[in-house]
Amino acid sequence: MADHYEVLGVSRDATPDEIKKAYRRLARELHPDVNPGADASERFKLVTHAYDVLSDPEQRQRYDLGGDGSAFGGGAGNFGGFGDIFETFFGGGGGSRGGRPRSRRERGQDALVRVTLDLRDVVFGAHRDIDVDTAVLCETCDGSCCQPGTQPVTCDICHGSGHVQRTVRSLLGNVVTAQPCTTCQGYGTTIPYPCASCQGQGRVRARRTVSVDIPAGVETGLRLQLPGSGEVGPAGGPNGDLYLEVTVAHDDVFSRDGDDLLATLEVSMPDAILGAHTTITSLDGDVDLEVRAGVQSGDVLTIKGRGITPLRGGTRGDLRVGVQVVTPTKLDARSRALIEDFAKKTKAPEPQLAQFHQGLFSKLRDKFRG
């Protein structure tokens, strides 16, 4: 039998509109009123039949599956051979082909908790007791989902397989499929007496405390994984994981640059000229710091080993202290006279344009990072 697509001169993926246009063109060419020849009449019948099949979505689908495109009234009988093939592949009779029944025990979901740390915690690490609202094992049934003294029973519909078979008659023969049993939801067993505490889930919602040692060197956005600390799964299944997402709070004095800490030290003009010793309070406690004579704004004083311990261990970073010389804005008459006298004796040059320098904070930033 001629292929319907070839008769109409269209491809097998032709759209309905393309099929209709092809039919109209051929019908005008082959219609007996226009072309009375015997060959044209036969071709007209083939074109009309092809269009009748391919213009009907159901008939076209059956034809594409291997049908002959006729009236399809006795189509099922024409495809007995395909039925045998389906019987071979899907096994026509007994036994569940849906695989094993589902397990009630499933892994619990992961949980995410956000924790805010101070910069001191980042430097030294921290211990936290974190409250987590999650699913925990039901103490009444210990995850069995049943009332104490009872147990699940085999489903009398699927007989423990978790699936039921269904036979569907089609043009290609009898197709046997396996679907999850709606009585037991595919578990193969039912629970006639579910636990009253957890409603047969094997777990309940509760708040519990998780103790966490947070290592030094963490930073905002980092997630720490605690395997097995998430929620318990249904029917007492294994716990998921708990993730801690870290946020480091702003510190008014110190900031972080990699494994180093940055700070700014305000120095008076006399101390900048003459030099000085001072004590600063770092995150490690008090630290003695020497300000050398002639220090300039933007100079960086480095204190070794007072920075942050790297996350994966190693040598601590440094504490870098940027100097900012503070110029007095209010002077009494005597102080002003002394400074004027100092200026005359040092013969300081008048203010003038010099080589361009970046602003103080840009300069400090570049020195910190350099």
Strands (E), 42-144: 111-117, 126-137
Does 146 belong to an annotated binding site? no
Phi/psi region, residue 159 (left: phi>0; alpha: psi -120 to 50; beta: rest), is left
Q: Which two tokens stand for residue 94?
A: 């007994």
Q: Do the Cβ atoms of 224 and 114 come closer than 8 Å? A: no
Q: Which two tokens stand for residue 115?
A: 């924790």
| Cα distance between residue 48 and residue 42, in whole Å | 10
- Listed in sequence order, the residues at least 6 apart from 358 whose beta carbon sits closer than 8 Å to its beta carbon are 366
| Residue 5, helix vs strand vs coil | helix
Does 145 belong to an annotated binding site? no
| Cα distance between residue 172 and residue 69, in whole Å | 14
| Cα distance between residue 169 and residue 253, in whole Å | 79
Phi/psi region, residue 335 (left: phi>0; alpha: psi -120 to 50; beta: rest), is alpha
CA atoms within 13 A on the CB side of 137: 13
DSSP characters for 23-56? HHHHHHHH-TTT---HHHHHHHHHHHHHHHHHTS
Please state the residue numbers annotated as binding site: 138, 141, 155, 158, 181, 184, 195, 198
Please state the residue numbers annotated as binding site for Zn(2+): 138, 141, 155, 158, 181, 184, 195, 198
